[in-house]
Homo-oligomer: A and B are copies of this chain.
């Protein structure tokens, strides 16, 4: 007996991307303005349909590159949304992804999307179930950030300890003690202190650090677990 696949119905599948950025102070969300019906003119996550010869990761990458001009963006699949009435005009199953964009990336937003960054703490109401997608993305981002060094994806290559602390404070919506934070980070031993200083924030200047990916992966393979 051979399976006959033709009896099964097929579905439209889309990806929707929750794009996070960090400006040194707030977590931001890159949203696009719909230029077609339904819900034309309203804010939405950027998305696109999955093509025939494409994995979901491929689709999400294509959508992100088309919007931002960037390649190799950090991306993680989140969840599949399949409520029958989630989009009014057609039955579309959508898979959400979240992306992390570093502030020093040479981002060049494609005009056709009318995209805009919004503070994660106050962004407009989104179409369909996109609000829920964002909510779930924040939950996952927090979990990931607490167990893996993905925070660095949101920072420029070189950053100050204050940048790093501000980032984690805004991700987890908590304040940390400067000394405790720094000694925790130092005890991880996965940063390299450069001999450069950021002179824009103070007269004294503050040292810049880099995330040492090789060292981290070496420690990982020796059983080290990132935990913040």
Contacts and interface: CB of A to CB of B under 8 A. Distances in A.
Interface of A: 1-3, 5, 8-13, 35-37, 40, 49-57, 77, 79-80, 82-84, 89-93, 95
A166 to B, nearest CB: 25
A93 B12 CA distance: 11
Given A13-B11, A79-B77, A37 B90 contact: no
B37 A84 contact: no
Interface of A is mostly: loop
Contacts of A52: 9, 91
Contact of A55 (B36, B40, B51, B83): B83
Given A11-B13, A36-B3, A50 B82 contact: yes
A125 B79 CA distance: 27
Given A79-B77, A82-B55, A12 B10 contact: yes
B82 A56 contact: yes
B13 A13 contact: yes
Given A50-B93, A55-B83, 4 more contacts: A1-B35, A10-B13, A55-B84, A56-B82
A36 B1 contact: yes
A95 B11 CA distance: 13
27 contacts: A1-B35, A1-B36, A1-B40, A2-B36, A3-B37, A3-B89, A5-B12, A5-B92, A8-B49, A8-B51, A9-B52, A10-B10, A10-B11, A11-B12, A11-B13, A11-B50, A52-B91, A54-B84, A55-B82, A55-B83, A55-B84, A56-B80, A56-B82, A56-B93, A57-B82, A77-B79, A80-B95
A80 B80 contact: yes
